[in-house]
Amino acid sequence: MKLMVLNHRYTRPLLVALAAATTLAALPAAAYADGSQPAPVTGGIPLINTAEKIGPGINLQHVQALDQKGWYNAQFLTVDLSNSAVGTDLLTAGPVASGGPLSVAANKAGAVAGVNGEFFDIGNSNAALGGEVQNGQLIKTADIGGRQHVGVSKDGIAQLVDLTVNTTANFSGADHGVLSINAANGGGIPADGLIAFTSAWGDYSRNRGLTGVANDQIAEVLVQNGSVVSVTPNGPAGSGTIPDDGFYLVGRGASATAIRALQPGDPMTLSYALANNVAKTMKFALGEGGTIVSGGRVVGGLDTSIAPRTALGFKDDGHTLVLATWDGPGGTGKGGIGIDKEARDLVAMGVQTAVNLDGGGSTTMVARALGEDTTTVRNVPSDGSERNDPNGVGVFVSKGDGKAHEVLIKPAPGSATADGDLKVFPGLRRALIAQGIDDHQTAVTIDPKSVGWAVPGASVENGTVTAPAKIAKPYGVLKVEAHVGREAGREQITVLHPLDGLELS
């Protein structure tokens, strides 16, 4: 559903408004005669404000606006977590110490939408700074020093959560406290500290948190099936694939001395569990960069500098999830908004609690159009392409009954106009396809031969519409119907004014 479209009738008033940019912040958000609920524009002039259905209870709103700080684009994904067909989970690139494009992670997992997630050890291990719970399982702890976390429970409640983990390694007849699991610890490991890595870490160096520490203060041990396999008495800690049935302990100082005393065959176990009972109920959780909305109010003292931003918020007692991105032209630091505006926009949407996720070049929103099987990037990442992020938040829709409950008419591949609308010049052709969606609004394959096409006032063959060479007025409309069994899709094609000429650009 299109809420507002900028067209030629508004060009002159807009130019006048742009000349008076110093007054933009005082202007109210746009009003809509059809009573639709537009995405928030907290000050400034909205140029585009559109809404798109992504799935049952899942809607994506796109805002392009101009305020006194410049242009920005915003994407607001609203998810009804109470819908039984809807789910969420952590998206990852693979191993903890790796990264990849969000769209690849989303499509591999079968998500219908998602945003990038936590801040990470960029330029090094790429591991997220916070803990990770995926599909109810703890993947990693936060870096030493802790981190705030957010997620959604298995019963579909978005909430802040404490991911404190109780971890011990038992060897030499005693329990030894372990400070982290599968964490990069770029800030360093304290003297006498002990850390652990499982196969989930990947093959990146286990020495990241020990950079600058003397090698005689470092030792590590490989354990498989509850027994010591090998001891490396000096640093640096190694790298390489960790066996699925094994783990490494890496020690500094006194912990390194304790590791050196071990022999192959000695028994050892690693035990870890979430300490908080609520955390044990989470479907997914990840670290975040701080609360920006609390109790439906903007938190004070937020950063006002301009940059691309990503946020996660929730309302309706956690039953509605809001994922949002903001960006603008010019690259990281030159487009986007301040975190203060990020929070104001979310409050305007009724969000009760919101946290800031990784922004800058990481800011990415992906979504799947109805009838499609894969997601595409919906914002403009400021690096010029998707960044290799370690994780993200994914939204999922379970498969329905597999029957076409709705027929969608779209441009055939390679036939879409720049704005995605259906348009054609007089006497020329526009190729169309029919796509189906089931009762969960997931894609259903339609045999092109089973589609019956009808376009009054024009000819159509196998979905290719030929517009009449002459029309009664400068702008005409062709009404298209596609019938598949008992279902029918309807769409309109705008017939443009005849071409006056062509110029290369």
Decide if 174 is inside a domain: yes
Beta strands 423-424; 487-495: pairing state? parallel
Evaluate whether 184 touches 208 at the Cβ level (below 8 Å): yes
What separation, in Å, do the N-terminal and C-terminal C-alpha atoms of the chain show? Answer: 32
Decide if 199 is inside a domain: yes
Question: Is residue 271 classed as helix, strand or coil in its secondary structure?
Answer: strand
- Tally the domains of the chain: 2
User: Which residues constitute the domain of residue 446?
Assistant: 406-495
| Angle (CA) 65 67 68, round 5° | 160
d(CA 91, CA 403): 29
Instruction: Find out whether the peptide bond into 95 is cis, omega within 30 degrees of 0.
Output: no
Decide if 184 is inside a domain: yes
Closest CA to 176 of 253, 238, 244, 232: 253
Decide if 11 is inside a domain: no
Q: Which pLDDT does position 67 carry in this prediction?
A: 82
- Tell me the residue type at 225: N
**Final residue of a domain: which of 259, 274, 289?**
274
Q: What is the dihedral of CA 236, 240, 242, 247, to 10 degrees?
A: 0
Query: What DSSP assignment string belongs to 429-451?
Result: EEEEEEEEE-TTS-EE---GGGP
Decide if 458 is inside a domain: yes
Closest CA to 378 of 334, 333, 326: 326
Decide if 121 is inside a domain: no
Closest CA to 118 of 365, 289, 284: 289
**Final residue of a domain: which of 230, 252, 274?**
274
**Helices assigned H by DSSP within 234-382:** 254-260, 339-348
Decide if 37 is inside a domain: no
Question: What are the mean pLDDT values of the chain's consecutive 10-residue runs (505 residues total)?
Answer: 33 38 37 48 84 97 87 95 98 96 98 98 98 98 97 98 98 98 98 98 98 98 98 98 98 98 98 97 98 98 95 98 88 78 96 97 96 95 94 97 95 82 91 96 95 94 91 76 95 88 77
CATH assignment at residue 429: 2.60.40.10
CATH assignment at residue 225: 2.60.120
**Final residue of a domain: which of 274, 298, 313?**
274
Which tokens in the block code for residue 60? 């994506």
Evaluate whether 22 touches 45 at the Cβ level (below 8 Å): no
d(CA 183, CA 210): 12
This prediction's pTM = 0.90
Q: What is the pLDDT of residues 158-215, one digit of tens each?
A: 999 999 999 999 999 999 999 999 999 999 999 999 999 999 999 999 999 999 999 9
Decide if 439 is inside a domain: yes
